[in-house]
Amino acid sequence: GAVVSQHPSRVICKSGTSVKIECRSLDFQATTMFWYRQFPKQSLMLMATSNEGSKATYEQGVEKDKFLINHASLTLSTLTVTSAHPEDSSFYICSARVPGQGRGVTEAFFGQGTRLTVV
Amino acid sequence: AQKITQTQPGMFVQEKEAVTLDCTYDTSDPSYGLFWYKQPSSGEMIFLIYQGSYDQQNATEGRYSLNFQKARKSANLVISASQLGDSAMYFCAMREISSGTYKYIFGTGTRLKVLA
């Protein structure tokens, strides 16, 4: 299947600093990428949809100025957690849509996830 | 509004036995896709199986099969011949195809533990 690489896998940062997480599609061009957040023992919650060359679409309740998303190329989307606080500690995972996939196959492949700890 | 419900927070199964993980969904879209993903402790989401709303037959992928009952709006995952490596979190997800947004909605997950 298609490969989506997410980096870093783990990051610890100090409160008040910013952290950037990268999501790359390695063997296909992803016009659309998704960013999810997962609290311990909970489900994945969609934060935003990232479209190449345009502004991201954020889900209700997600702070746009806190979670900056940039999708500058067809293979890279970044999520920047600005002025991080301990409550931002979570598992962040991206997925990329593989264009042209029809029924019967998955349309989205996931990165390995990033565990963010803000201290 | 679309919704995915997984009512089993945790399940145990003996190695080599079969297990069924429940998933019910709610949507007003006549065209939708249902997915099951496995999430081991490392965190990555591993695609297991897909069922389209118009598919006539239940999907199967190796030891995984999906018991799709459209009228009941259920899409249960059946794992046959469980293996120790099957121990993980399992998520049911749905995408409303007609919406064209490619947004996935996930259930709360079921933690499966396979016993030796």
User: What is the pLDDT, as a whole number, of residue B103?
Assistant: 80
- Tell me how far apart the alpha carbons of residues A58 and A61 are, in angstroms, rounded to a whole number: 8
**Residues B11-41 pLDDT 10s:** 999 999 999 999 999 998 888 999 999 999 9
Higher pLDDT pick, B39 / A41? B39
Instruction: Find the Cα–Cα–Cα–Cα dihedral A91, A14, A61, A77, rounded to 10°.
Output: -60
Question: B27: distance to nearest CA of chain A, Å?
Answer: 18
- All residues of chain B having their beta carbon less than 8 Å from the beta carbon of residue A95 are 45, 104
More confident residue, A51 or B114: B114
Distance CA B8, CA A108 (A): 25
Burial label for A44, CB within 10 Å (0-12, 13-18, 19+), is buried
> Whole-angstrom Cα distance, residue B88 to residue B42?
10
- Asked if the C-beta of A21 comes within 8 angstroms of chain B's C-beta atoms, the answer is no
Shortest CA distance from A2: residue in chain B: B47
Give the tens place of pLDDT for each residue, B78-108.
Answer: 999 999 999 999 999 998 877 777 788 999 9
B36 Cβ neighbours under 8 A, 6+ residues apart: B21, B23, B47, B48, B49, B64, B66, B75, B77, B90, B91, B92, B93
Q: Which residues of A touch B37 (CB under 8 A)?
A: 110
How far apart (Å, rounded) are the C-alpha atoms in residues B92 and B7?
11
Q: Is the pLDDT of residue A9 over 60?
A: yes
